[in-house]
Structure 1
C-alpha cells in the first residue's frame, strides 16, 4: 500500500510521525513523508522517503517578529504570524500537499494538515487518518487550549463554547485557501469546519498522547478517536538521526559525582535572551543548594563559552530517556515530547509555557499533582526559585513516581499503524 503523510511544523510535530512511518514501512508499505524543508534530511536520515512540504516554521519563530511574539507570550499574536506565513505560502502549500499525495492509496495527516488532506482525499477517493498531538476537538472537560487561563475550572457549557468559537475562527481564516485548493481539485466549494468535514467522512482522529494526561476525556469520545500513547523512535532510527550522539558518558559522570540535578531546557522554542535564562537557573541553583543541568536546545547559546557556577552544567543535545532517570526534576516549556520523557522518568515538572497547547499541558501537570506551571513571560529569579522549590518536595516526587506507572510503556506507533491498516481495509 502507498501511504502519503503531508506534514508541517517543527521537529516536535514531525518526529512522532516519522516513528509511525517507519513502523508502516516495516510492515511492507511504501511511505512518503512531506516535511518542512528544514526537516527533510531528518526524515531521510531516519530511513523514510521525504520531500519538502510547507514553510520553515522554525525560521519564523527565530525571526525578529517571531521572537517578539514569543517574548510577549502572546499565543494570538504568534498564531497571527503563523497564519500570515501560511497565507503567503498557501498556494505553494496546496501544490505541495497534492504532489506528496499523488498516486497514494491512503493519506495520514496531522492537526495542521488535516484540512488540506481531507479535500485531497475526497478528490482522490482514498481513506484519510488524522493524528492529533493534543485534544483539539470539542468536549466538555477541557476548553480549547489557550482560550482560558490554565488554572481555571470552567463549567462544561463554557468549555464547549470555546471549541465552537475556535473551530469557527479556523473555518473563517482558512476557508479561502481551502476553497482555492478545492477548485484546483475540481471539487465544489465548502463552508463547513474541518471538524465537521472529518466527522461526516468518519475519519479516524488518532490521539497520539497518553490518556492518563487527560482524565475524563476518553470517556467522552467514541471509537473514532482512539488513544495510542506516545509515538517514539526506535534505537536504530535515533542513532541514524543523531539523537544518541550526545556526550552521555560525560553528562552521567557529572551527575553521579553529586546529588541528582534539576533539568532546565526549552526544546525547540528559540529563546531571545538565553544568557539571562542561564543566569536565572544558576542563581536558583545556588539559592536552593541544588545542581542544575541546562540544555541549550536549539538556542544560540555557546555551550563551550557558557558561564555558570560549579553546581551547573550546560550541555548540548542529549537523549532524554538516557539522562532523565538520573535527575531530580524537570523545568521546560511543556512540549509534549519533553513532557512525556520527564513524566515517564517520574520527574516532578515545572512547565514554563510559551504558547499554543503548552499552557494546557502546564495546567494538567498542576491538576495531576505532578508539578507546577507558569508562563515563560512571568519568569523571574524569585518566582523560579519558589516554583522549583515547590516541585522538589517529597510529596511531589512521590506523586510523580506514582503517575509514571500509569503511562503506557508501549510504543504507540504499533497501535497507530494498526489503525491505519484497519482504515485502509
Structure 2
C-alpha cells in the first residue's frame, strides 16, 4: 500500500512519524513523508522517501523575532508569527501537500496537517488517519492547551467552552486557505471545522501519547481516538540518523564516577541567553551538593569550553534512554518526547515550559505529583533552586518511580500501524 504522510513543524513533530514510517515500511508498505526542508535529510537518513513540505519553522524560532518571543514566553506572539509564516506559504503548502499525497492509497496526517490532508483525501477518495501529539479535541476533562493557566483545574463547563472557542477560531482563521485548496482540487467550499469533517468521515485520530498522562480523558472518547503511547525509533534507525553517535561512553563514565546527576536541557527550543541558564544550573546544583549533566543540544554553547564547576558536565546531544536511567532528576522544557523519556526513567521532573502545549504537560506533571512546573520566563536562580529541592525529596522520587510503572510498555509503532492498516481495509 502506498502511504503518504505530509508534515510540518520541528524535529519533535517529525521524529515520531519517522518511527511509524519505519514500521510501515517493515510491513511492506511504500511510505513517502513530506517533511520541512531542514528535516528532509533526517527522514532519508532513516531510509524513508521524503519530499520538502512546509516552511522551516525551526529557522523561524531561531530568528531574532522568534528568540525574543521565546524569551518572553509569548505563546500568542509565537502563534502569530507561525500563522504569518504559514499565510505567506499557504499556496505553496497546498501544492506541496497535493504533491506528497499524489498516488497514495492512504494519507496519514498530523495535528497541523490534518485540515489540508482531509480535503486531499476527500478529493482522491482515499482513507485518512490523523495523529495527535497532545489532547486537541473537545472534552470536559481538560481545557484547550494554553487557553488557561496550567495550574488551574476548571469545571467541565469551562473546559468545554475553551474547545468551542478554539475550534471555531481555527475554522475561521484557516477557512480561506483551505477553500483555496479545495478549489484547486475541484471541491466545493466548506465552512465546517476540521474536527467536524473528520468526525463525519469517521477518521481515526490516534493519540500518540500515554493515557496515564491524562487521567479521565480516555473515558470521554470512543474507539475512534485510541491511545498508543509515544512512538520511538528502533535501535537501527537511531544509529542511521546519528541518534547514537554522541560520546555516550564519556557521559556514562562521568556519571559512574559519582552520585547520579540532575539533568538540565531544553530540547530543540533555541534559548536566547544560554550562558545565564548554564550559570543557574551550575549554582543551583552546587547549592544542593549534586552533580549536573547539562545538554547544550538546544544552543550554540561551546560544550568543550563551557565555564562551569567540576560538578557540572556540559554535553552535546545524546540518547535519553541510555542516560536518563542513571540520573537523579530532570529539568527540561516539557516537549512530549523528552517528557516521555524522563518519566519512563522514573525521574522527578521540573518542566520549564516555553510555549504551545508544553505548559499543559508541565501542569500535568505537577498535578500527577511527579514533579513541578514553571514557565521558562519565570526561571530565576531561586525558583530553579526551589524546584530542584522538590525533585530531590524522597516522596517525589517514589511517586515518579511508581508512575513510570503505569506507562504503556506495548509497541506503540506496531499498534499505530495496525490502526492504519485497519483504516485502509
Give the alignment's TM-score, normalised by structure 1: 0.99
CA contact (8 A) 1:205 1:225 kept: yes
What is the DSSP-based 3-state SS (H/G/I as helix, E as strand, rest coil) of the residue aligned with 1:34?
strand
Q: How does 1:380-419 map to 2 (within 5 A)?
A: 380-419=380-419
Partner of 2:90: 90
Alignment coverage as a number of residue pairs:
425
Q: How does 1:10-409 map to 2 (within 5 A)?
A: 10-409=10-409
Deviating beyond 4 angstroms after TM superposition, the runs of 4 or more aligned structure 1 residues are none
Residue by residue over 1:200-232, the C-alpha shift from the partner in whole angstroms, topping out at 9 and shown as x without a partner, is: 111000000100000000000000000001111
Cα distance, 1:136 vs structure 2: 0.2
CA contact (8 A) 1:261 1:328 kept: yes
Instruction: Establish whether residue 3 from structure 1 lines up as the match of residue 3 from structure 2.
Output: yes
Give the Cα–Cα distance (whole angstroms) in 2 for the partners of residues 29 and 13 of structure 1.
22
Give the Cα–Cα distance (whole angstroms) in 1 for the partners of residues 15 and 410 of structure 2.
17
Cα distance, 1:262 vs structure 2: 0.3
What is the DSSP-based 3-state SS (H/G/I as helix, E as strand, rest coil) of the residue aligned with 1:272?
coil
Give the Cα–Cα distance (whole angstroms) in 2 for the partners of residues 374 and 270 of structure 1.
18
What is the DSSP-based 3-state SS (H/G/I as helix, E as strand, rest coil) of the residue aligned with 1:304?
helix
Give the Cα–Cα distance (whole angstroms) in 2 for the partners of residues 149 and 330 of structure 1.
23
Cα distance, 1:298 vs structure 2: 3.1
Give the Cα–Cα distance (whole angstroms) in 1 for the partners of residues 262 and 59 of structure 2.
30
Cα distance, 1:410 vs structure 2: 2.3
Give the Cα–Cα distance (whole angstroms) in 2 for the partners of residues 96 and 202 of structure 1.
25
CA contact (8 A) 1:108 1:129 kept: yes
Residue by residue over 1:325-367, the C-alpha shift from the partner in whole angstroms, topping out at 9 and shown as x without a partner, is: 0000000000000000000000000000000000000000011
What is the DSSP-based 3-state SS (H/G/I as helix, E as strand, rest coil) of the residue aligned with 2:34?
strand
CA contact (8 A) 2:265 2:298 kept: no
Residue by residue over 1:119-163, the C-alpha shift from the partner in whole angstroms, topping out at 9 and shown as x without a partner, is: 000000000000000000010000000100011010000000001
CA contact (8 A) 2:35 2:54 kept: yes
What is the DSSP-based 3-state SS (H/G/I as helix, E as strand, rest coil) of the residue aligned with 2:33?
strand
Cα distance, 1:71 vs structure 2: 0.7
